[in-house]
Structures are given as C-alpha cells and as structure tokens.
Chains A and B, each alone.
Chain A
Amino acid sequence: MNTIFSLGIILLVGLFAAKILRQIKFPAVTTYLLLGIIIGPHLLNFVSPGIINSSGLISNIVLSIIAFGLGQNFSKEHFKKIGKSVLTISILEAVGAWILVTLALFFILKQQLYLALLFGSIGAATAPAATVMVIREYRARGTFTNTLLGVVALDDAWCLIIFSVSLAIARALSLHLGANILLLKIFLHTFGHIIGAFLLGGIIGILLNWLGRFVKTRADLLIITLGSILVTAGLSILLDFSVLLANMALGTVLINLKKHNYGFFEILHTVDTPLFLFFFVLAGANLEIPLLPKIGVIAITYFVFVVVGKIAGASLGAHISKATGSVRKYIGLGLIPQAGVALGVALIAKASFPEVGNFIFATIVTATIIFELVGPFATRFALRKAGEIEGT
C-alpha cells in the first residue's frame, strides 16, 4: 500500500471510528490507539512501512507542539488564579507516582535504575481528556470537580518536566553503565541538558515575540509558530538539549512577555487535530504484539504503583494545602486515567533507548488501555463520593 493512500485511510477511518465509538463513551484517543493496533503490521498490516518508520519524527513534532502549548500554563496570571491546593496536589501526585513506580521497579522487580526512572516518569502522566469527559457526562460541579480539573490540566506539564529530567538522567546513567558511575558526570550531563533547553527556548521565545509584530495574516502566524517550534526541536536535538523542555520554555517565555501572545497558541488548534489522530494511530501501529506476554509483571506493577503514588501524593498535597475533606479523601481516585502524554513520552523513550524501547512502549500501551478502561470508573466513583454528581 502506498504511503499517501495509507495516510488518507488513517484519517478517514480514524474519524468515523471515533464518532461511532463515542456513542458508547469511548474516548477518541483510545479508539485511535486500538485502530492503530488493528491496522498495524502484526494484524491487518495496513500501514505502509514508510509511515511506521516516520513514527519517531511525528511523535517528536506532536510532543513539541504539546509541550509548547503546556508552556502557557506557567504564566503569572495562571498561578495567581489556580490557587495553592491545585498547585500542591498536582505537583505531589505527579511526583508521588514518579517516585513510587521508580522505587517499585528498582527494588521489587530489580530492573536497572535508568529503566525504572523512565517508567516512573511516564507514570506521572494523567489523561485530562478522559477526566473531562466523565465530568461532562455526569454534569459534575462543585469545589471537588474544579480542583480535579485544575490538577489534571496542570499535570501534563509536570509530567513533561519530570520525564525530561528522568530521560536526561537515564541517558547519563546508561552512558556510564559498566564504568564507575560518577555522580558528578551524571549531574553535569543532566544539568546541561536541561539548562541548555531553557536557554534555547527562552532565546527563541524572545525572537518570536519580536517577530510577532511583523506578522500580518493568520497563515503567516501559523507558519511562524510552527517554524519556531520545529527550529527549537531541531536545535535541541542537534545540541543534545531536551526537546520537550525547550519547547515548553518557548511557550512560557512567549506568554509571559506579552499577554496578547495567546494568538500563537490558539492558531495551532487549526492543525493539531489531524496530527494528533495520526500520532495515536501510529502509536497503536508501533505496538510489538509478540512482546505482550512478557510484560505482565511489569505492567501490573506499573499500574498498581501509579495508582498508589497518585492517591498518596494527591492526598498529601490536599492535606498540606488544607483542602476540603472530600478533596483530601477522593482526589487521587479521580486522577487514575492515563493516555495521550504517557504514550507520547513512551514513544520518545522508545526512540532514545532502542534496546529496551519496544518493551517500554508495549508496557505503556497495555497499561494505557487498562487505565482508559478503569480510570473513568474511578473518576466517576470519586465524583459521586464527593457528592458532585447530580442526583447523588
């Protein structure tokens, strides 16, 4: 099958499948993922090898766009509005899952530290889309719902930061495996990777802010925004900086330099939907089905400790920030769904560590499907217990 035909089919079938499965409350992300698995090389083999081979490229572009968009969350105005509870809970639930999954894989399953760190950092992700879907479906409203929405909206940004730091440490660790691990070397490697990304994103952000005054049409705005994101990503790869952090810094610098710069973010919505569709179908098509029988124990451990980490971290955050009783008790349960960003960073991990990449990815895809099935029930349970679903 030729590549162009394959691309067209993916778009059309993806759209119709999502519309149909939407009727039975299936999130579009899961539909695209399952579609990718079905039409992937191990089942129908309907995706051209050219497309499969370009997965790394597409995931880097899509994640760069997502990181750029999430960067706008770190504006002075947002921080003033979201409040201490949302901020504390979102940080601690993400860090809780990161630490617990890492420790569990390292100490219980005796995995190598860099692998445990990568899994831990992916565990920090949540799926805001799935949570919002449950909230909309049950028309939940109230303090608990608002806190939950604030936390899931911020979580992906923390996840990208945690993943980027973990990826840098993991790469430094894997480079020095076999030799004496020099902590200073690992620290310097990680530090350079991150600070370089912030500087690069910051500089391009200042340039883009300045260039913005010469933009006359929406087409130009789209081109200049996409161009800047790709240049940031490309330079990051070239200079061995974190692609995600550089683009996040680009978004953060832009929104803080000028309030009117929100136009740079809004214009991307005109192109991101088909890109996201491709991204998830390709994620599904990348699944190495023969690996599935081997991932059982890791997938279960990952799932359990993500849940425990999120619940424990979120409750701790709620206690520290003196949130209401229902938020303290149930907020963690509302954060179980995990999908888009987890898959995206898993694809990056796959590309960065080819020797274990397929294994990491297969585990995360499996866990994602479980999370997407179980997560919405947990969210609904939390909302009901908090008394914010009508008629309860």
Chain B
Amino acid sequence: MLVKDAMRREVVTVRRSTTLKELIEIFHKYTFHTIPVVEDEKIVGIVELEHLLRIFQPHPAHIHELLKSVPFLEEEERNIFELEVTSEMAMLCLVDDIMERKFLTIGEDATVQEARRLMKLHQTQRLPVVDKKNNLMGIISLFDIILSVFKEKGIY
C-alpha cells in the first residue's frame, strides 16, 4: 500500500508567524503533537510539544542548529519550574522562533512499509507527506499505518 492511500489529507498546520498563544491553543484542541509549519503550501518546519521549551532559548534557531555539531558541549540543566518568563511571551514568541528546521518528510508515492521504517528509525509517530515539489499533501501517523494493516486483514 502507498502512503497516499493511507494518509490523512486534512492537516492542521501553522505558519511561521503563528504566536505561542495560538500554538498552545492548537496543542490543547488536538491530541496529536506534530504540526507542520507551512509557507506557500511548502513545509518549512515542524513543531512538537517539546519545542515549546525552546521559548527559553535566547538565540536564533540556526545558531542552535550549528551548536548541535559542536563536540563536548554539555547539556544545559534547566529547571523549567524556575525559569523567568513574562506573560508577553505568549504574543511575542512565534512558531518561527521554536520550530525544528531539520525534519523528516515522506513522498506520497512511498510505501507504508517505508513510512513505518522511517518512524521506527527516527522515533516519531507522524510524518508529513509531500509531493515532488515539497508541497504538503497530508500527514501519515502510526495509527494510519496500523489501520491500513487492520483493514487489509479484515479486522476493521
């Protein structure tokens, strides 16, 4: 079975300019927590729950990406209960400040087996599905894959 046959086409997305407040509302409303960031129909990043903690980072995202390759860097021990943040952050902090720029996607013509392999390998349960021009076409989750197997076996 191909990804395009198992994926969901209705996708909740955000924009780079979505505020932290709006993002929290989306996380509240939906049970899934991997949301594509879209610009001109193209996927430019993703936000997940743990990325919310990035509002405490004082530096731009590309600097943090660069630092990932730095050897011997000690992990910052942060107590999130003692961080100083102000209420204005809800409006000032944007998705662009916290989104992950290194993300996985899968082509709509790939097989569900390949989607499952990538999910296992990268420890994720949702993959944005793109066409050849990197336009967002849908999203496939572990549940969608399991559902497709169950349907094939007549369980569901």
Contacts and interface: CB of A to CB of B under 8 A. Distances in A.
Interface residues of A, number: 43
A216 B121 contact: yes
B74 A153 contact: no
Contacts of B121: 215-218, 221, 263
Nearest to B114: A213
Interface stretch (A35-43, A96-104, A128-136, A318-326): A128-136
Interface in B69-84: 69-74, 76
B66 A129 contact: no
B59 A129 contact: no
B51 interface: no
Given A73-B69, A217-B121, A218-B123, A129 B63 contact: no
Contact of B70 (A81, A129, A221): A129
A91 to B, nearest CB: 15
A129 B73 contact: yes
Helix, strand, loop or mixed for chain B's interface?
Answer: loop
Contacts of A140: 58
A161 to B, nearest CB: 15
Interface stretch (A5-13, A142-150, A183-191, A196-204): A142-150
Contact of B59 (A128, A141, A152): A141
A263 B63 contact: no
Given A217-B121, A218-B121, A218-B123, A156 B70 contact: yes
B70 A132 contact: yes
A66 B102 CA distance: 20
B76 to A, nearest CB: 6
Contacts of B63: 146, 149-150, 153
Contact of A156 (B58, B71, B74, B104): B71
B69 A70 contact: yes
Interface string A66-82: 10011011000010011
Identify the interface centre among B71, B117, B122: most chain A CB within 10 Å of its CB.
B71
A269 B78 CA distance: 19
A205 interface: no
Contacts of A136: 76
A46 interface: no
Interface of A: 27-29, 66, 69-70, 72-73, 78, 81-82, 127-129, 132-133, 136, 139-141, 145-146, 149-150, 152-154, 156, 215-218, 221, 259-260, 262-263, 265, 272, 276, 339-341
Given A128-B72, A216-B120, 20 more contacts: A70-B71, A73-B66, A78-B62, A81-B62, A128-B70, A129-B72, A129-B74, A133-B74, A136-B76, A139-B58, A145-B59, A146-B59, A149-B59, A150-B63, A150-B66, A153-B66, A153-B69, A215-B121, A218-B120, A276-B72
